A and B are shown apart, each in its own frame.
Chain A
Amino acid sequence: MDPQGLASLSNTVLYTAMGVLAFAMIAFALHTAKVTSARSAPPQDRTRELVGAGASARAGEATHGVEAGDAGDATGTTGATAGSSAVGGPQPGPGSPGARVGAWAMSLSWLATMLLLVSMVLRGLSVRRAPVSNMFEFAVAGSFVVLALYLALAQRRPLKWLGVFVVTPVLLVLGIAIRSWYTAASELVPSLQDAWLVIHVPVAILATAIFTLGFIVLLLQLAQARREQAIARGQRGRPRFLAGLPDSTSLDRTAYSLNILGFPLWTFTLIAGAIWGQKAWGTYWSWDPKEVWTFVIWTIYAAYLHARATSGWSLRTANIIAVVGYLAIIVNFTIVNYFFPGMHSYSGVSAP
């Protein structure tokens, strides 16, 4: 098949992946809704429910790293950590709410991820290089890595509660990518034709994907912490869907683990970029807008790590710093590509 044929086939597969992903999103949303309604029934109802559920009912918070939909892997992980125990919930089991739709959501996500991979391979064959060199390709590859990472992590621990919050933004990014950032398959400008393209850019994508998951979990953590405080004050915890999620301590630990994984990779991106810059432009650091923002992001995440180690800075402040760090990543990928001309202007998209 000729390159343009491969490229258009790649796009068809991408659209198919997005369709499958849309179904996965709906399934994840249904799953979360079912788990939530099972967990956060009003107190008077819950009493009845607990009585009715008999031996399978369990007092105390059941949300520590465990969620109702995960049948097999739910047992044995109920945390010893005692968070705010204002709500109770039914013990998860094979027939628990949302189990079937949750399994469907996972399968559909796997299928969509495979399709994204196929789309990337076809694109790579079409352009005969790693398909990671413009905004469109970066977004597709980034979406793939986010999904793949999520699914890989979900293999080892119950993570269905996170599904809808991962799949929805990924779908949004893919939509923007193919509508607004699409760049016809083509060769590279000379400065990009180098082995460092397959080192610098994929590591940047991986780091961005890990930070993306960390950011999603952090947003949930901040909301969960607020809800727990409200419950501790005797108010109703809002929004309700958070009842189906792990407690804020557990969410914080997950986000921290992701961010400390992302940080060294981002550091490597910075160093690899400097090495490549030296090779291509004769200088390893030239305060190009992209370099500046990569450095700014690195600094903010470094501040996050330090804020967690500093007495006098609350966990919330530290997590907000990390949220700001991710917002800087978004700025780096969108605004910097569009409006700040520099030596990294490879987006393939002309400024408005």
Chain B
Amino acid sequence: MTDDRDGGFAPAAPDPTDAAAPVTDGPGSRPVGLGARGWARWAWRNLTSMRTALLLLLLVAVAAVPGSIFPQRGIDPVAVSNYLRDNPTLGPWLARLGFFSVYSSVWFSAIYLLLVVSVIGCVVPRTRLHLRALRSAPPAAPSRLRRLPAYTRVETDADPDDVLAAARAALRRSRYRVRADPAGTPADPAGTPADTGAAAANTASPRDRSVAGETGYLRETGNLLFHAGILVVIVALAWGYLVGWKADRIVPVGQSFTNTVSGYDTFAPGPWVDADDLVPFTVHLDRLDVRFEESDQGAQFGAARDFRADTTVTPYPGAAPEQRDLRVNGPLTFGDASVYLLGNGYAPRLTVRDAAGAVLYEQATPFLPQDGVYTSAGAVKVPGARPEQLGFTGVLLPTAAQGPNGPESVFPDLRDPVLILNPYVGELFAGGAESVYTLDTSGLTALTGADGKAARLELRPGQTVALPGGRGTVTLEGIDRWAGVSTRYDPAKPLALTSALVALLGLVASLLIRRRRLFVRVGEPGPDGRRVVEVAGLARGEDATLQGAVDALAARLPGVGAADGPERAGDGSPDRSPEGSGPPRA
């Protein structure tokens, strides 16, 4: 799971600091023997291989797409029911296969859980290796520096120990970790440390005067932090799901709600939520200001422009009430719980009286907006009416105008509101429990007017109309606004944010920091007493400025003059892979 193409400092032999090696060698090899352990080992190596992780990553991408195409139960359950109604053949099959709840489906979960395991299986051994690399010195200079991707040679008349000391100092100044051994350590053929066994074949002079330095350890640190950060984000998501909850409530202006399960219209807890632990804060909605687009006559006409609420909150029972602003993008916070302003609408204040004038029903009844011009639908239920119960379905038109199919709303604000009520009599709640916004008419019959047709009552604020058959009157006292609020509790939010930011930092480090090794070797004196100094560099992944770093280091050495013009890497080493393009790919 590294972003480097090679994962190591190739073109050399496998390197123990090559983090990807232990996880990339898995898939090709067959299980040794037939034992269960062998198979388990084989399966584990395959699962944690980069190739598998990559396939799982692509699978996650593909598997996430259906959730954006089909309606999702968790987001819009009504759309799911509509889809099922419109597609009677395909719909049930999609439902069975989990296409309406993709992100909690078995197959989606299986893919991402396998990916998580795969990433853990890759990151843990790499972390171990990286910690070891952080503690150990960089490997000694390989014997043939000329074969490295970046190379230059210069001549010096300075003392060889001075040259080496200057090289060490220059490397340290550039924040390289410098191999601490004194001059004279046997060189090693290909940049691999002596303990890999390559040292046995080494034929270099025992009086090797060389310096080795390595920098950019943060690249791998960043890479590991990135992967660890992503894993913690997933943990935070899971934790938030388990102990978090969300609850919605429609609050007419002038009313309040309390943070208890019964204080909400809907309460959706995670599996580990104890509803008794809710802090019963109270929010009173003093005022709600809504403004809509009036100047633009195009598609934006009537779009919401601003809505905000003034509230009086009591953070916990017995606390002093305080005034707070509730806005879109500006929630009220109570510890880890926050109250968001998500919607608004109208609640007609209705009074229903019987024939004798006694009040049967008197309250603000929230209607739900159905479209951009706030054509709002609702129901009024008067169970106390005698001899039969009364019910109304209603449509509120905030700004009514005569359209081709009767009155319709043309603007979402209350410019000329009209409430249309269809009265019913009979038995309410015949079909059992029902939403407060709809009327189940199965036990009811529509009241008819004098013309024999179903009665239709039209009311403007302040008007009173009589119900057919002397059943009393309905008065529209006024129209209030309501605010749709949603309370969310997610204690894992800070963890998710922190780990996401850590992952981002790690990602930037792993992509921008260059991991490279520089080597300096002082040769034996020539006939003129001058010594050849070779400087070479090796990088992990692509590194366009490696040669520049090598040249810069060479230029900082004492007593240096060019030897026949600097000789660059690439001259006469045909077996080398092209500069910067990494090792040959398998």
Seen from chain A, the residues whose Cβ lies within 8 Å of a Cβ on chain B are: 80-82, 183-191, 193-194, 249, 253, 256, 260, 263-264, 267-268, 271, 274-275, 278-289, 292-293, 295-296, 299-300, 302-303, 305-315, 321, 328, 336, 340, 342, 348-350
* A-B contact sample (18 more), CB < 8 A, given A305-B3, A348-B300: A81-B578, A183-B298, A190-B327, A190-B328, A190-B329, A191-B328, A264-B508, A271-B497, A279-B329, A281-B340, A282-B342, A283-B488, A284-B497, A288-B75, A309-B4, A310-B50, A310-B54, A342-B68
28 A-B pairs with CB atoms under 8 Å apart are A80-B568, A184-B298, A186-B295, A187-B300, A190-B305, A253-B580, A253-B581, A256-B542, A263-B511, A267-B503, A267-B507, A274-B497, A280-B329, A281-B340, A282-B338, A282-B340, A282-B488, A285-B237, A287-B68, A287-B74, A300-B61, A303-B61, A308-B5, A309-B20, A311-B586, A313-B51, A315-B585, A348-B300
By a CB distance below 8 angstroms, the chain B residues around A313 are: 51, 54
**Nearest residue, chain B, Cβ from A190:** B328
Per the bound structure, the CA–CA distance linking A288 and B64 in Å amounts to: 11
Per the bound structure, the CA–CA distance linking A121 and B219 in Å amounts to: 40
Whether B307 lies near A348 (C-beta < 8 A) is no
Main secondary structure of the interface of A (DSSP, over half): helix
Whether A309 lies near B7 (C-beta < 8 A) is yes
Per the bound structure, the CA–CA distance linking A82 and B544 in Å amounts to: 16
By a CB distance below 8 angstroms, the chain B residues around A253 are: 542, 544, 580-581
CB of B486 within 8 Å of the partner chain: yes
Per the bound structure, the CA–CA distance linking A115 and B60 in Å amounts to: 42
Per the bound structure, the CA–CA distance linking A81 and B570 in Å amounts to: 9
By a CB distance below 8 angstroms, the chain A residues around B54 are: 303, 306-307, 310, 313
**What per-residue 1/0 map shows which CB atoms of B528-569 lie under 8 Å from chain A?**
000000000000001010000000000000000000000010
By a CB distance below 8 angstroms, the chain A residues around B507 are: 263-264, 267
CB of B579 within 8 Å of the partner chain: yes
Per the bound structure, the CA–CA distance linking A183 and B301 in Å amounts to: 12
Given A184-B300, A186-B296, A340-B68: A309 touches B50 (CB 8 Å cut-off): yes
Given A189-B304, A193-B306: A309 touches B6 (CB 8 Å cut-off): yes
Partner of A306, one of B50, B69, B544: B50
Interface residues on B, range: 35 or more
Within 8 A of A (CB), among B274-304: 293, 295-296, 298-300, 303-304
**Nearest residue, chain A, Cβ from B488:** A282
By a CB distance below 8 angstroms, the chain A residues around B51 are: 310, 312-313
Given A190-B307, A303-B58: A311 touches B488 (CB 8 Å cut-off): no
Partner of B504, one of A82, A260, A267, A340: A267
By a CB distance below 8 angstroms, the chain B residues around A274 are: 496-497, 500
**Nearest residue, chain B, Cβ from A332:** B68
CB of B202 within 8 Å of the partner chain: no
Whether A300 lies near B58 (C-beta < 8 A) is yes
Whether B237 lies near A292 (C-beta < 8 A) is no
**A280 CB to nearest B CB, Å:** 5
**Nearest residue, chain B, Cβ from A321:** B58
By a CB distance below 8 angstroms, the chain B residues around A303 are: 54, 57-58, 61
Whether B300 lies near A186 (C-beta < 8 A) is yes
Whether B496 lies near A284 (C-beta < 8 A) is yes
CB of B65 within 8 Å of the partner chain: yes
CB of B331 within 8 Å of the partner chain: yes
**A123 CB to nearest B CB, Å:** 14
Whether A186 lies near B50 (C-beta < 8 A) is no
CB of B493 within 8 Å of the partner chain: yes
Partner of A336, one of B68, B237, B504: B68
CB of B2 within 8 Å of the partner chain: yes
Given A184-B300, A264-B508, A312-B51: A299 touches B580 (CB 8 Å cut-off): no
Name the 5 nearest CB pairs between A and B, nearest first.
A311-B586, A289-B68, A282-B340, A190-B328, A299-B61
Whether B579 lies near A81 (C-beta < 8 A) is yes
Whether B67 lies near A292 (C-beta < 8 A) is yes
By a CB distance below 8 angstroms, the chain A residues around B542 are: 253, 256
**A197 CB to nearest B CB, Å:** 10
